[in-house]
C-alpha cells in the first residue's frame, strides 16, 4: 500500500460497521448450522430466503451482539422456525382453497 492510499479518505485501518456486522453474522450462521446439523451454506440460504440477515441480524445487531452468542443464536433460530412454519402453514391454506 502506498502513501496516497494510506492518506486517502477511503482507506481506514479499522473495520467498518458493516464489516463488523458481517463478521458477527458469519459467526451466527456457522453456529446455527452446527446447532441444526447443516452446512453454513444451507443455513445462509434459509436465512436469506426469509430476509433474516438484513431485517433481523443487521437491523438488531446492537441488541443481539450485546447478548451471549447462545442467546443470539436461540433468538435467530426461533425466528427462522416461526417464519418457515408460517410459510408451510400458508401453503397448506392456499392448497385447500
pLDDT band at 3 (very low <50, low <70, confident <90, very high): low
The stretch 27-44 carries a mean pLDDT of: 98
Do 76 and 52 meet the contact criterion of CB atoms below 8 Å apart? yes
Query: What are the b/e assignments for 7-23, b being 16+ CB within 10 Å?
Result: eeeeeeeeeeeeeebee
Q: What is the pLDDT of residues 5-20, one digit of tens each?
A: 555 556 667 889 999 9
Query: Residue 26: pLDDT above 80?
Result: yes
**33/23 Cα distance (integer angstroms):** 15
* Cell 385447500 -> residue: 96
Q: What is the pLDDT of residues 38-66, one digit of tens each?
A: 999 999 999 999 999 999 999 999 999 99
User: What is the residue-averaged pLDDT of the chain?
Assistant: 87
Predicted structure pTM score: 0.77
Amino acid at each position: 500500500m502506498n502513501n496516497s492510499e494510506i492518506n486517502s479518505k477511503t482507506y481506514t485501518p479499522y473495520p467498518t460497521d458493516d464489516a463488523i456486522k458481517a463478521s458477527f453474522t458469519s459467526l451466527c450462521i456457522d453456529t446455527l448450522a452446527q446447532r441444526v446439523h447443516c452446512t453454513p451454506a444451507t443455513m445462509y440460504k434459509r436465512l436469506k430466503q426469509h430476509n433474516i440477515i438484513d431485517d433481523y441480524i443487521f437491523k438488531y445487531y446492537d441488541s443481539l451482539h450485546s447478548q451471549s452468542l447462545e442467546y443470539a443464536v436461540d433468538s435467530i433460530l426461533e425466528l427462522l422456525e416461526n417464519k418457515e412454519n408460517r410459510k408451510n402453514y400458508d401453503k397448506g391454506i392456499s392448497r385447500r382453497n
